Amino acid sequence: ARLEAHTRPKSGAIALTVPDTASVDKTFVVSVTVTNPSKHAMKNLEVNLAEQSTFSSEYVDPVPTRIEIVPDKRAIDLAAHETRTVQFEVTPSEAGVIGIYANANCLIDYESENANENKKACRDVQALQLGAFDATEVRMLDEKAPAVVAR
| H or E element, residue 76 | strand 73-78
Confidence at residue 7, expressed as pLDDT on a 0 to 100 scale: 58
94-115 per-residue burial string, b: 16 or more CB within 10 A, e: under 16: ebeebbbbbbbbbebeeeeeee
Digit-coded pLDDT (tens) for 38-53: 888 888 889 999 988 6
Mean pLDDT computed over 74-88: 93
Would the pTM of this model clear 0.85, i.e. be above it?
Answer: no
Backbone angles phi, psi at 117, to 5 degrees: -65, -45
> Is 101:73 a contact under the CB 8 Å cutoff?
no
Question: What was the pLDDT predicted at 82?
Answer: 95
CA distance 109 to 143: 49
Kind and range of the H or E element at 120?
A: helix 115-122
User: Which of the four pLDDT bands, split at 50, 70 and 90, describes residue 108?
Assistant: low
Question: For the segment 61-70, what is each residue's pLDDT rounded down to a tens digit?
Answer: 555 568 899 9
Instruction: Give residue 118's pLDDT.
Output: 61
Closest CA to 70 of 87, 84, 53, 85: 87
Which of helix, strand or coil describes residue 32? strand
> Residue 33: which of 123, 127, 111 has the closest Cα?
127
pLDDT of residue 31: 96
- The per-residue pLDDT for 1 is 43
Q: What is the mean pLDDT of residues 20-44?
A: 90
